[in-house]
Amino acid sequence: MNPPTGLFSLLGLDRTMAWRAVSLAFAAWLSFALASLLHVDNAYWAAMPVWVITQSSRGLLFERAALRVLGTLLGAGAGFGIVHLPIPPGAQLIALAIWMAFTAGLTQLLRGTHGYGALLAGMTAAIVVAPSTLIASEASIAVAMARVECTLIGVGVGTLVLAALTPAQPLADFFGDVRRAASEAVQHTARILRGAKPDLNAMRATLIQISQIEASGRLAVAASVEGYRRLHDVELAVVGALSLMAAVQARSRQPTRHDAMLADRLDAIARHLRRPWNDSITPELRHFRSKVDSEHRRLLLAVDQILDAEQGFYAPHKRTAPPEGRRAHLAPLREWPLARLNAATVGLATLTASAFGLWIPWESAWLVLLGVCIFVTLLGSMPLPQQIAPKMFTGTVIGVSCAFLYRLVIQPQLDTMSDVLLSLVPFMLAGGIIRVAPRTAVAGIDACMSFLLASQAGQPATADLLRIMSSCGALLIAAGVATLLFLLHPRRPLHRIHEAATTIRNDLLRMLDVTYVDAAKWQTRGARQILRLTLHLGREQAISERWPGGLLAALNLGHALGSLHAFGMPDTVRETMKAFLQGEKPFSEACSALQEAAATTNDPMQAGTIRAIAAEFESAGPLLAFDRSTLTPVPARRRPRSP
């Protein structure tokens, strides 16, 4: 294939992408044409979903299309329910704000693509309620119903057209990524067992790789029954890899001799994990064992978890379930602080735009409300919306500008529907190109959507320049408000790091107050927060490089606290840890108190476990003590070693 030239080269397009752009443009054009032939009002709405549902894999395309239909129906039901409530328009808009806040919060609580359904449920309700309450005409309900019908037409046509041209996501590729990440963890463990010093950069890279794999798991297996069945194997591999790296870190702190035999076995397992994903492991390698001590048991359990998961990847129906002690399911990811923030942001933005629409006598005020609801909800569903907001605004400006020229110059010249359809061809092609091109894809979505919304293609032309400027300006105002909102109040990874660290602190506090703690359950709960921390730390390069060991130490700290319950937890350890985790005792004093508790304990097993707690606490403490007021990392202070 010859390299692309000219415009394609400038946009980063190859021939495959160019063909996909043409297909996308055709799907959008066909959706509009079909809605027009069916005489559905505002037929341009039918083309809008196509720009959104296009995906890189067929499974993701099908799943997002299904969720868009489900979200549209739920949102339409909520919207029509609100407008039929026997209450004033202002109260209806308050009800809309509550619904928007609810669905916006759900986007941060539902995993994988499921949050997309909540996103559409909120935006569709706004599509129904905004014109019905602010225009208050008898035709507004019919128009809202037509827009729901257009959405369903666009989803159906777009899915059918794009499905044949969208490649399937090979599950083998994803499971191969999981196995390679696990092999890095196994290889790292083998190096440590031979006496090598930990490579912090390699540890950080492996942790980020593991966290990204887990975060993308539900997207990779979208619309695949077999893939969803294997997600628990992915979680088992993730927990096993994290547990293995944590266990070898804990073992490296102990004055024990190296284990070359176990390292050789782990090297062989790492090589196996890097081979083709359906290459089954030999029985000899699968059932290896080494000398047994407390840390070897952790190592062996973690390796067994990885191999159990690996077996599930290539033989899900033939395998037997792993023993109870080796099973692991990550605790569900629930971003409650972010969900509350997102709900409050979207709800208040909706109320503010509603008040503007009620109190300002402007015929396009409903479009401002609709735009604010859509833009703020969409940006709020993203991890770092301040990075996307400028591109969204740029795309909106481009789309609205093209729509303004279309309505002013082209639309008055169109006499028949055939003329309308032909007039949209170049705009659809241009939209397909900028939507697919990697360098313009983000802005391209909003450019295409804004053009269709502002152009009102297929509607009667108007010579009223002020009316055209009014509707176009309303969209620009809505996009500008949403952009400024997230630029002036950006979400910072430091806040997410603090929230994850707070969750770990709370979990550790609960562990101090129970009489017995299942260490395996802590590993699965702690692993979830470590993955969450790793993702957010990956966005803060300056501090993430300092703490790869601290992340694993947090897992080891919980494991050691659970083990101490078996020997009896001294009150001094409990009170010291409580005081530190509640912010009442400085890090250095807590370190000294734990060392003193270990030195004054007569029981050798208990003393050894307390020393392990002190060692892990020294690494994990600065990360757990992420300062609440300034949101800056608390510097670690090395305590003097006792002679």
Among the listed ranges 132-141, 344-353, 580-589, 606-615, which one has the minimum average pLDDT value?
132-141
Answer for the pair 526, 558: CB distance below 8 angstroms, yes or no.
yes
pLDDT bucket at 476, cuts 50 / 70 / 90: very high
pLDDT bucket at 641, cuts 50 / 70 / 90: very low
DSSP string, 519-587: HHHHHHHHHHHHHHHHHHHHT-HHHHTT-HHHHHHHHHHHHHHHHHHHH---HHHHHHHHHHHTTSS-H
Task: Measure the CA–CA gap between 102 and 313, rounded to whole angstroms.
Answer: 37
Tell me the percentage of the chain whose pLDDT exceeds 90: 47
DSSP classification of residue 55: -
For tokens 């808009």, the residue is: 93
Q: Which residue has the higher pLDDT, 32 or 641?
A: 32
**In this predicted structure, what is the pLDDT of residue 3?**
44
Whether pTM exceeds 0.95: no
- Alpha carbon of residue 643 to chain centroid: 49
DSSP string, 394-405: HHHHHHHHHHHH
**Residue 27 Cα distances to 14, 30, 417, 637, angstroms:** 20, 5, 18, 61
What length is written for the chain?
643
Check the CA dihedral 102-104-108-113 and report its sign: positive
**In this predicted structure, what is the pLDDT of residue 171?**
83
Which of these, 476, 431, 472, lies nearest to 454 by C-alpha position? 472
Answer for the pair 247, 527: CB distance below 8 angstroms, yes or no.
no
Helix runs in 12-88, H state only: 15-37, 48-53, 58-83
Task: Measure the CA–CA gap between 276 and 60, rounded to whole angstroms.
Answer: 25
Angle of CA points 166, 171, 172, to nearest 5°: 120
Q: What is the pLDDT of residues 155-181, one digit of tens each?
A: 999 999 998 888 887 788 898 899 999
Q: What is the pLDDT of residues 86-126, one digit of tens each?
A: 999 999 999 999 999 999 999 999 877 889 999 999 999 99
- Cβ-Cβ contacts under 8 Å for 537 (sequence gap 6 or more): 493, 497, 543, 544, 547, 551
Q: What is the pLDDT of residues 40-81, one digit of tens each?
A: 988 999 999 999 888 888 898 999 999 999 999 999 999 999
Which of these, 298, 292, 196, lies nearest to 243 by C-alpha position? 298
The helix or strand, by DSSP H or E, that contains position 606, with its residue range, turns out to be helix 604-624
Region for residue 6 given its phi and psi (left: phi exceeds 0; alpha: psi -120 to 50; beta: otherwise):
left
Answer for the pair 135, 358: CB distance below 8 angstroms, yes or no.
no
**Whether pLDDT at 629 is above 60:** no
- Cβ-Cβ contacts under 8 Å for 367 (sequence gap 6 or more): 130, 471, 474, 475, 478
Q: Which two tokens stand for residue 590?
A: 């807590």
Task: Measure the CA–CA gap between 489 and 386, rounded to whole angstroms.
Answer: 8
Q: Which residue has the higher pLDDT, 625 or 468?
A: 468
Burial of 120 per CB tally in 10 Å (0-12, 13-18, 19+): buried
